[in-house]
Amino acid sequence: MPATRKTGILSPFRFYTFDTMKQNRFFCRLLLILVLLVTLDANAQFDSSFVKSQITKCADSLAYGFRNRNWEVFARYSNPAMIGSLGGKEEFIRTIASMFGDISPDAWKLYKPGLVLQVIKSGADLQCMIEMNSIIETDGKRITSKSHLIGQSWDGGVFWTFFDSQNNREAARQIKPDLSESIVIPAKVPDKVDPVNRPSPLKPEEPAPKRNNK
């Protein structure tokens, strides 16, 4: 028989309502969790985008210092351990300047960062892998190269310093012994060497033959 307040018996309708309310509370909690996860994921994506933009910005500054022979700027964005391995900042600058001093700045047709291939968190720092693309013309040849730099940040990804991985993990660990196992060092991309075909100077225009006016 239908349940009434007098009988004190819960009707199927009341059971149905009670179960529905429990289900609704469950779905509301589930929805709240999903919204929270989506928000956290969106924040993580935003942070990743910010970090990658900072990597590119710092690598641009490194390349600027190199192209313009501003070795103070180049040293600022070079890995401190690498600088230390060469005897400190002043010795590092002297070494780099002597290595590239004989090459005309006009010989560098391109020296700029490429793709950020990887960013990971390892302990207290962030580590990354980024391409550096270069084109140099010398001795009648155009040499196109791609190197892979390892970056490190100690402040959450705002400021980065770099060193060349030499496409070799053992060599990279000489500079950074705590290099993460998760960092993938790409294989060396062979340099592309092309002859520089410079246009020959224009020959002077031959005068038109004189016409005989009789």
Report the domain count for the chain.
1
pLDDT in tens, 144-155: 999 999 999 999
Which domain range does residue 112 map to? 49-59+105-195
Measure the CA–CA gap between 212 and 214, rounded to whole angstroms: 6
**35 close to 50: Cβ distance less than 8 angstroms:** no
- pLDDT above 50 for 208: yes
- Residue 93 domain-assigned (yes or no): no
Q: Kindly list the distances between the CA atom of residue 204 and the CA atoms of 12, 88, 207, 210, in Å, as whole numbers in the listed order.
A: 107, 57, 9, 18
Global pTM reads 0.71
pLDDT in tens, 94-128: 999 999 878 888 889 999 999 999 999 988 899 99
Give the residue ranges of DSSP H helices in 68-144: 71-76, 80-85, 89-100
- Residue 11 domain-assigned (yes or no): no
pLDDT in tens, 7-27: 443 333 333 344 544 555 655
- Residue 21 domain-assigned (yes or no): no
- Residue 14 domain-assigned (yes or no): no
- Residue 200 domain-assigned (yes or no): no
**163 close to 78: Cβ distance less than 8 angstroms:** yes
CA triplet 26, 27, 32: central angle to 5 degrees? 100
